[in-house]
Every structure is written in structure tokens, then in C-alpha cells.
Chains A and B, each alone.
Chain A
Amino acid sequence: MAETKRDPVAEWATDFDHTHPDYAAAATEIWDDLRAGCPVAHSERFGGTWLPTRHEDIAAIAADTEHFTSQGVIVTEWRPDVPAPVGYAPPITSDPPFHALARRVLLPYFSPKAMVRWENTTRAMCRELLDTALADGATAFDAAADYAQHIPVRVIADMLGLPRDDGDKFRGFIHRIIEVPGQVEVEQEDTLDHYLKQIVADRKAKPGDDLISYLLSADLDGVPLDEGHVEGTIGLLIIAGIDTTWSAIGASLWHLAQHPEHLQRLRDDPEVIPFAVEEFLRFYAPVTMARLVAEPVQIGDASMQPGDWCLLPFPAANRDPEFFERADEFVIDRAANRHSAFGLGIHRCIGSNLARLELRIALEEFVARIPSFELADPSAVRWSTGQVRGPRLLPVRLT
């Protein structure tokens, strides 16, 4: 597996590369600079890509399904060839009017009330992971690789009725699809497509009490979902639910490792937790989406043309000082927090209630178990590259 090296970036306003390690290392500063100056950056990379940075522009683009299509949501050198309105992974790659149907099939499964059943299993998982990390009196472990990473993998595996051990496979798919899109070669039988075909065929032969079986028996206004749709949606849940949540948990722990006063506050004042969770999501929003331009459109000074990519950096919207008071400060009990970590408009994250539950429980259990801790080696922390941002290596030490 050879990964290609990225060319150095000349100027962020005119040549940005959101998959470059330099972007991962300094994304917030880059957005702040662009927002104050540009505010919509452009790059010839990936066949032409835009990067808006103001909340107002990002919200307007997310709401505009006429000039922008979701047929492509991860920026690659090529353009996805499964046409709108369905796309290759419904509903995230779908446009109206089909989008609403594909979304409606999933919504009841992920509603806040439906999430209650995952509370206890998630808590038990977190405890088990901490037991393992701290076994035999260990006082150092990797909070991203040994803890945060496993929580969403196990929850999704349980939900889909798949073995938890398949988690290693999931992480390989995610790395190739999101972190280094199109930059590594793989054998057909190691692809996500191949895996999805296999698990959907298995479940078709032997249905169970899981989300795959539920989708196979579901219909869109009387028409059963075809297998391609089910495969695409399951693939989406694996891709969309794991490294996103892993990133949110990891970034929150990275913060707490450096802010013992916030760790203490979470422990002393459990009522602040729901507010802290939203502030972690605002401040460390992990997900930047993308759209393809469908019709010529003007956003500020930017003249976007059909076929251009346009990134939707919700994390940048969350740091816009025109939209948030003290935007660059982490305010643990921030009362008014209209953040957009889960997107805005019709594609609002379907897994948002699940992600919140996982983040809250992961923090509650960590706080209950670990009285104080710090980064074991700040230079060993590694942040992911690409459209999902969070720490992938996070060595910590109990203090």
C-alpha cells in the first residue's frame, strides 16, 4: 500500500489542500486567517475546489440543494459516477426528492427515544475498555487508539449484528475512503464493496434482529429497498458513524488532558455535562462535508462552476466570531450554542443522537475512573488528515 505524498501548499487562499498534514496540524488558524481575509478560498487541486469559512456562507450552501448536489460528499480527484438523486450511499449522497424517502427509512431507528436501548451496552463497553487499558496497574495508555476508537466500532457492529472483531476491517475501509481518498491501491476482496455484498447476502439468507435485516425488509412507499441501496446505506453507517465519533471522543479527551480544571468541573457538576458535550462538539467539530456544484452560483466573490467541489467546513462555521460570542474560547457551560457539528439542513446527521450518547457516556466513564491525567508525550499525538478531524494517537499518563 503506497500512499502518495501531497505537494506542498503555496498559499492557503489559492492553493489549499485539506488532505495535507499541514492543514490537519493548523486547521483552526487557517480558517481564521481565511475568514478574516478571503473568505472563500479556492484551489485547483482535485479538479477545482472551494473552501468557504463563514457560518453564513456555509449555512447557505448547506440549504441550497438547487445549485449544489450531494452526489459527491468526499473530495477526490475523480467525480462519483452514481447519478443523483440516489447516489452511491443513500441518503448522504442523495438529493431531493429521493433523499427524504431514503432518510425516512432510517430516522425511526436513530430517534432520541430509540437510542435509550444503547445506553447500557455503551456504558458497559466503556468500562470494559478502561478495565483493559488499566489492567495490572497500568498508568499509561493511548486514549484514542485503546479507548475512543473502539466505542463506535463496537456500537455499530452490535447494531448491524456483525462480529465486534470485524472492527479492524472497518478501520481499514475508513482510512482508505476518508483519510487518504483514492490514494491507495487495494485488492477487490479487501474492498468495502466486497464486504458489504457478503454481509447483505448472508443476512438475506438468515435474517436476524438487526439493522441490516430491518433495511432488507423495509420499503420506500411500497417499493422494497434494492440490495444496492441497502449495501450503500450500511456502508454509509460504517463510514459515517465510526471515525467521526472516535474523533469527537478523542478530541474531547485531548482537551481534558490539558485542562484539569475542566475535568474537575465535569466530575463536580454533572449538570454541566450536556452543555460541555455540545461545546466539545462545537469547538472540536470533526466533520467537514462537501458538495459538487450542479449549477453556476455566486458565493461572495466566488463564481462556482458545475463540477467544482465545494467543502462545507462545519468546524470553521463553529469558530466564526460573527456568529458566536468568544468563538475562539472553550466555554464549558456555554448556554446559547447553535453549533453545526452535525450539519445543517436536510442532511442533518442521522446518527447525532447516537454520537451524543456515545460521547457523553465515554466522558462520564472516563471522568469517573481517572482522577487526573496528562499527555504522556505531546509530540506523539497524531491528528487525522482529510475531512474527518480528530486525534488518532493520543498517549496519556495518569497523574
Chain B
Amino acid sequence: MKISYDRSKCQGHNRCYMLAPELFDTDDEGYAILLVEGEVPSDLQDKAQLCADNCPEYAIEIEG
């Protein structure tokens, strides 16, 4: 499973950071910072899916 994040779509709802601080941090203005690159560790895959399913702006995508 791969996860990607599009900063240009992010509006800082912070749903991802609240659901999975292991996967997302936030910057000073509240925009998301994706913490993993490439493959999502298997124990975080459910959380990654949850983040993608809750982002109101469709800024997070899951592949595979």
C-alpha cells in the first residue's frame, strides 16, 4: 500500500493528523505533513485508509 498527499488540495481540516499522528504531522499553519514515504508499514495501513476516507478535500490518496 502506498499513500500520497497533495498539499495544493489540503485546507488544513486536520482530520488526518487527529486520526493518525503516526502518518501525518501538521505545520505551524495547520496544513498536513505526510510522514511516510512510499510503502505504508503494514500495521498502519488501516489508519492510512481511514485518513483517506475522512479527508473532506480528497487530498490523500491510497494506492494498492
Contact = CB atoms under 8 A, between A and B. Distances in A.
A390 B15 CA distance: 24
B13 A352 contact: yes
B13 A348 contact: yes
Contacts of B30: 107-108, 110-112, 353
Nearest to A346: B11
A338 interface: yes
B4 interface: no
Contact of B11 (A104, A274, A348): A348
A344 B13 CA distance: 9
Contacts of A113: 26
Contact of B29 (A111, A274, A337, A338): A111
Given A110-B30, A111-B29, A274-B18, A348 B53 contact: no
A371 interface: no
Interface in B14-64: 14-15, 17-19, 26-30, 50, 53-57
Contact of A111 (B13, B19, B26, B55): B26
A54 interface: no
A335 interface: yes
A339 B50 contact: no
Contacts of A353: 14, 30
A345 interface: yes
A340 B26 contact: no
Contacts of B57: 344-345
B54 A338 contact: yes
A337 B17 CA distance: 15
A336 interface: yes
A342 interface: yes
B56 A108 contact: no
A338 B54 CA distance: 5
B50 A335 contact: yes
Interface residues of A, number: 23
B26 A338 contact: no
Contacts of A274: 18-19
Interface in A179-216: none
Q: How large is the interface on B (under 10, 10 to 19, 20 to 34, 35 or more residues)?
A: 10 to 19
A336 B17 contact: no
Interface in A72-119: 104, 107-108, 110-113
Contacts of B50: 335-336
Contacts of B12: 107, 111, 348
A340 B30 CA distance: 17
Contacts of A337: 53-54
Contacts of B19: 274
A288 B17 CA distance: 26
B11 A111 contact: no
Interface string A142-172: 0000000000000000000000000000000
A64 to B, nearest CB: 15
A348 B29 CA distance: 13
A344 B56 contact: yes
Nearest to B52: A336
A335 B54 CA distance: 8
Contacts of A338: 53-56
A75 to B, nearest CB: 24
Contacts of A345: 11, 57
A371 B27 CA distance: 40
Nearest to A339: B56
A353 B28 CA distance: 13
A111 B18 CA distance: 12
A335 B53 contact: yes
Nearest to A113: B26
A112 B13 contact: no
A104 B29 CA distance: 7
9 contacts: A107-B29, A111-B27, A112-B18, A335-B50, A335-B53, A337-B53, A340-B56, A346-B11, A348-B11
Interface of B: 11-15, 17-19, 26-30, 50, 53-57
The 6 A-B pairs with the shortest beta carbon distances in the complex, nearest first, are A336-B53, A107-B29, A111-B30, A348-B11, A108-B28, A112-B14
